[in-house]
Structure 1
Amino acid sequence: MTTPADLAHEVLLRVAAFVKSLPADQLADLASGEAKLELVPKAGRSPRPPRRPAAAGAALSRPVTEIQDMLSQLETRQAATQYLNDLKLTVPQLKELAKVLGIPAPAKSTKTTLTTTIVDTTTGRRADSLALSAP
């Protein structure tokens, strides 16, 4: 049985031989990051699923200032979460809201993750601060 180290060694030898055979311009593109090497199965590439169109309709159903004001007035995380859920915002809309509010959101976030991030950053931090400062 071949060990992973032996396989890695064999792969690196093949990659080195391939890269050595490249013309100077392609090698320069690889070195600068303008080009990349891609693993393609021996049978060829499988067809990619069609790309979804860009997220249309990222416009919010309510003005951002109204949403921000409401989130600042709500006293609990649960109330803020319910408020955002009641708006029935899509993932692109939640990403847009987070962006406008200056809240970093990972590119591949779910609706629940985005809602939690927005609530924690707005209502949650204020609620935590109030709880800590209460006698």
Structure 2
Amino acid sequence: MAALKKEDIIKSLEEMTMKQLNDLVKAIEDHFGVVASVGAAAAPVEAASGPTEVNVLLTSPGGNKVSVIKIVKELTGLGLMDAKKLVDGTLPAIIKEKVKPEDGEAIKKQLMDAGATVELK
């Protein structure tokens, strides 16, 4: 078997849909027993008291994308098409910036109840 070149792999990834990429990441996680972490290296170390503000990041809309789009529309005040573009766009996507941690947790719960995957940074 010929070794794949990095450029060939990147070209293949560029042709995949977001669903296909998400499935690939899950398969890699399962196969190697690891968890992909988006932006973990960029996260600053917070003081022992915890952060005073967090950003709410949508990492995956999950299977019920329509519900997630409706919630994003409500949370952000965007129009329906702009909310859809945000959910369908490059992930992770910032849904809310610089909110109190307790508000961030409430937003996270609301989106997760709709089936989305969300992180607070």
State the TM-score, normalizing by the size of structure 1.
0.22
- Structure holding more strand per residue: 2
- Structure holding more helix per residue: 1
**Which one has the largest radius of gyration?**
1
